[in-house]
Amino acid sequence: MILDISNELMDTGRSKQYTVSYESDTFSYRDGDFRVVSSEPFELRIVSPAKNKIHITGSGSIILAIPCSRCLEDVNTVIPFDIDEEVSVDADDNDEEQYFIESHYVDTDKMLYTEILLSMPPKVLCKEDCKGICTVCGHNLNDGECGCDRFVPDPRMSAINDIFEQFSKNS
């Protein structure tokens, strides 16, 4: 959503409330694209504390379908975010902190994307005791055992194992 803030910039102390929401069906992240399950509208307040400055505040949440870090099943994850930005509108257009403002317009989707990105959890689990997937066949171990032999010998013991194999052949 693009907001025209030219009226707020005309008068110092002027403020306006907007109802906004994240308007995309997916959220792109380094781990992939996550489906947006729910994005409730929230109030975004824009105040002009000084000439050509705006202060943007608001808070809300979004629900994303993020795969469990162990078993890869989608988990509906609530991502809360708080917006508290004060920016100068007449600053250099190349300023990285002004990425969501162009001329007298605020791109709320760009601003929300960054706030959600900063609030993303490092790891999502479907449950604390998630068993993950079988390393041999890929079966979800939360649904039951698969019967695969998942024993992996310790490579540090390979020299001793070779001695035992030599001993077994000679016997």
Q: What is the per-residue pLDDT across 104-139, written as a single tens digit (0 to 9) for each?
A: 788 888 888 889 999 999 999 999 999 999 988 989
Average pLDDT, the chain: 85
Pair type for strands 105-107 and 101-102: antiparallel
pLDDT classification of 82: cutoffs 50, 70, 90 = very high
pLDDT classification of 32: cutoffs 50, 70, 90 = confident
* Integer Cα distance of 85 and 106 in angstroms: 12
3-class SS of residue 158: helix
* Integer Cα distance of 66 and 87 in angstroms: 32
Task: At 104, list the tokens.
Answer: 């007298």
* Integer Cα distance of 29 and 67 in angstroms: 12
